[in-house]
Amino acid sequence: MEHDERSTNGHEESRFGDEDAEPHGADDATDAAGGEVPRPLARVRFGLGKELRLYADEFVILHQEAGDEIRLRLDSIRRLILAPGEQVPSKLVLMFDLDDGNTIIAAEGMSNVRDFRGLLAKVVEIRPAIELDPPDMDEQLRQALDIRRRSLLGCYGVVVAFCVVLWIVYLVVAFIGAHAHAAH
């Protein structure tokens, strides 16, 4: 298996070039060498094959379909930034500000707010020095849930209204057809 690994100021980026390789899942009890694989403290799945994992000393960002894995030491993270998505505000964008001045986009379009809240609580618990932007990130998450709920209700409302209008049109056509047939 081809393995390319780069390390830069507290974060590593690994790319696995072998597409036939098995993905490294958190449910595996042992690694390829037979050693114990630590279980993540929190895990957030979003999209297809994308996952954030929080360990005691690092954050892992997996993009399994692309074979990418980014590892960030928690000591190198200064701030977690959560922003609403550009097109859809309920699809959150998570970024990390690192101590070397770089900013990494960890998750674009993340919509798994419930699991992310658990991950956020664990981060604050094990690394209280990491800043949150916005400071009231829990409120930002609540707003994202409200926006998603309202947009879903709007979509369902449009579908129900369309069905009701279609039913009324059917009744009108049936009524006119019945009277036209009775008149002849």
pLDDT tens per residue, range 65-90: 777 888 999 999 999 988 877 777 66
Do 105 and 92 form a contact (C-beta atoms < 8 A)?
A: no
**What CATH number has the domain bearing residue 101?**
2.30.29.30
Average pLDDT of the residues in 21-50: 64
Number of domain units in the chain: 1
Intra-chain end-to-end CA distance of the chain, in Å? 82
Q: Domain containing 91: what range? A: 3-136
Is the pLDDT at 3 greater than 90, yes or no? no
Does residue 155 fall inside a structural domain? Answer: no
Is the four-CA dihedral 100, 101, 104, 109 of positive or negative sign?
Answer: positive
Does residue 161 fall inside a structural domain? Answer: no
The winner for highest mean pLDDT among 52-61, 78-87, 130-139 is 52-61
Q: What is the pTM of this model?
A: 0.58
pLDDT tens per residue, range 97-116: 999 989 988 888 776 777 88
